[in-house]
Amino acid sequence: TTSTDHPTPSFDFVVMANRLPVDRDDSQDPPAWKTSPGGLVTGVAPVMQERTGAWVGWAGAVDAEFEPFDLDGMHLVPVPLSGKEFERYYEGFSNATLWPLYHDVIVHPEYHRTWWDAYVRVNERFARRAAEIAAPDATVWVHDYQLQLVPQMLRDLRPDLAIGFFNHIPFPAWEIFAQLPWRAQITRGMLGADLIGFQRPADAANFRRAVRIGLGRPTKDTAIAVQDESGAHSHTSHARSFPISIDATSLDELARSERIIARAAEIRRELGDPEVLLLGVDRLDYTKGIRHRIKAFGELLDDGAIKPGEATLVQIATPSRERIDQYRKIRHDVEQSVGRINGEHSTLDHQAVHYFHHSYPRDEMAAYYLAADVMLVTALRDGMNLVAKEYVACRTDDDGALVLSEFTGAAEQLTQAVMVNPYDITGLKAKILSAVRMPPAERSRRMKAMRRKLRTDDVRTWSRNFLGTLDDLADTRRSATVPALQ
């Protein structure tokens, strides 16, 4: 821990994300730190734990200042947000403008100038904090859509740094991105990085197209020659894909432990030993297609294609962004449809749908994955979807069927899944039924192929590829720089 009367230490490696890997829970006495929600932290925390460096991010509480502190082998540097900034930068611009805009405008993005102003201010605060703690020539890795202006702001403050940016969510086609009144500022902000990473090649291509059409700048393969404000050459930035993954080895080990195997069996017993257990695990977000999946399951029961008592659906939904209108609405809609299906199809000894609005420890999640015969990932749009990869990693028995939306990044790696278009309810029903009825030999063949893929597609491969490429690019840039006249 550092305090204000000590000089700020400096770090050769700095990760920046809107959230720290832990989230302050002031509702407990004494207040506690719990794991932050979402796939970004699942992916980046294992990378950070094995390197020495600092993580700059928000601690999850508003109007609260925290000193830097150490936790689980990570040095954490909190950046404060005021209540107004939480509303305008986080709930507003990040999650009611950019989030829906980047996810195929599933709901209408809202554009407000006061939200944009707050986004600029908070990005500046993050950039200044990183500039203070980064050692000379350090590597700074900026993450996700909340901090898209940081790369250029950081370059202005500290041209010595190697700056990487990774977007965990999709990057939209120009035809959609063009709506954004601040599209040019966002594109220029990202171009401050030496390397800009995306989940899918299509996301990287969309970004390069935004550079060509929106800024009128040429691109050559992945390279973009970036100019400074005077029009002089500043640096070359590269935009390409680096699909993220999970710590597959450690989940595999966890799922082999007696404790988790016993808990998985216990979960099935507690659910009344259904013949088939279907599972959904998501943040409660309108991008996840939870309504579509519940509708399809409900119709299969209505039609009699699945007999009452044969199958149970467990839907685990982590609370997320709860004050935003569209998130209140999706919660209401999901809870109403669960209620309707249970009202019509549950009996005293068999409940059709179990719905949990909580988050659970990693052990419990692993036990659920191991207990479930069919995993339903039906996102309408998702940058990657780590839940799909976690399910595969936990299937040490080579069993279990994965139903996977073709609109996830994961669909490009887990090609042996049962692919679905979640908007097509008739097709979704047929695919869910085929997963429920899939012969064991086919389940095993598909699962084995997906597990083989995950063995090489690990989160360490991802971080090594990204950071290795970034190092090379920064070295090239530094060696090309002509020293100023002495």
Applying CB under 6 A, the residues found at the interface with ligand G6P are 18-19, 37-40, 95, 144, 168-169, 320-321
AA letter at 86: F
283 binds ligand ADP (CB under 6 A): yes
Helices (H), 271-385: 290-303, 325-345, 362-371
Residue with Cβ nearer ligand G6P (167 or 351): 167
Residue with Cβ nearer ligand ADP (384 or 402): 384
The contact mask relative to ligand ADP for 37-56 (x = CB under 6 A, - = no) is -xx--x--------------
Q: In which region does residue 442 sit, left (phi positive, over 0), alpha (psi from -120 to 50) or beta (all else)? A: alpha
Residue with Cβ nearer ligand ADP (212 or 263): 263
Do residues 395 and 366 touch, judged by C-beta distance below 8 A? no
Tokens for 15? 């990760």
Residue 50: is it exposed, middle or buried by C-beta count within 10 angstroms (0-12/13-18/19+)?
A: exposed
387 binds, among ligand G6P, ligand ADP, none (CB under 5 to 8 A by kind): ligand ADP
What whole-number distance in Å separates Cα of residue 418 and Cα of residue 435? 7
Residue with Cβ nearer ligand G6P (283 or 451): 283
Residue with Cβ nearer ligand G6P (59 or 371): 59
Which residues ranging from 302 to 321 are in contact with ligand ADP (CB under 6 A)? 316, 318
Which residues ranging from 316 to 345 are in contact with ligand ADP (CB under 6 A)? 316, 318
Do residues 186 and 149 touch, judged by C-beta distance below 8 A? yes
Residue 127: is it exposed, middle or buried by C-beta count within 10 angstroms (0-12/13-18/19+)?
A: buried
432 binds, among ligand ADP, ligand G6P, none (CB under 5 to 8 A by kind): none
CA-based nearest residue to 317, from 267, 279, 374: 279
CB of 143 to ligand G6P, least distance (A): 7
Exactly one of 150, 239, 353, 384 binds ligand ADP (CB under 6 A); which one? 384
CB of 386 to ligand ADP, least distance (A): 4
CB of 288 to ligand ADP, least distance (A): 7
Rounded to the nearest 5 percent, the helix, strand and coil shares of the chain are 45, 20, 35
Helices (H), 379-439: 386-394, 425-436
Residue count of the chain? 486
The contact mask relative to ligand ADP for 387-426 (x = CB under 6 A, - = no) is x--x------------------------------------
248 binds ligand ADP (CB under 6 A): no
30 upstream amide cis, omega within 30 of 0 = yes
Those residues with Cβ within 8 angstroms of residue 152's Cβ, 6 or more apart along the chain or in another chain: 188, 189, 190, 191, 192
What whole-number distance in Å separates Cα of residue 257 and Cα of residue 438? 27
**Nearest residue by C-beta to ligand ADP?**
39
Residue with Cβ nearer ligand ADP (39 or 192): 39
Helices (H), 66-180: 83-85, 99-102, 113-133, 150-157, 174-177
233 binds, among ligand G6P, ligand ADP, none (CB under 5 to 8 A by kind): none
Which residues ranging from 352 to 371 are in contact with ligand ADP (CB under 6 A)? 358-360, 365
Residue with Cβ nearer ligand ADP (152 or 385): 385
Do residues 386 and 246 touch, judged by C-beta distance below 8 A? yes
281 binds, among ligand ADP, ligand G6P, none (CB under 5 to 8 A by kind): ligand ADP
CB of 379 to ligand G6P, least distance (A): 12
351 binds ligand ADP (CB under 6 A): no
CA-based nearest residue to 391, from 293, 278, 243, 227: 278
**8-state DSSP, 111:** -
Residue ranges in contact with ligand ADP by CB under 6 A: 38-39, 42, 281-283, 316, 318, 358-360, 365, 384-387, 390
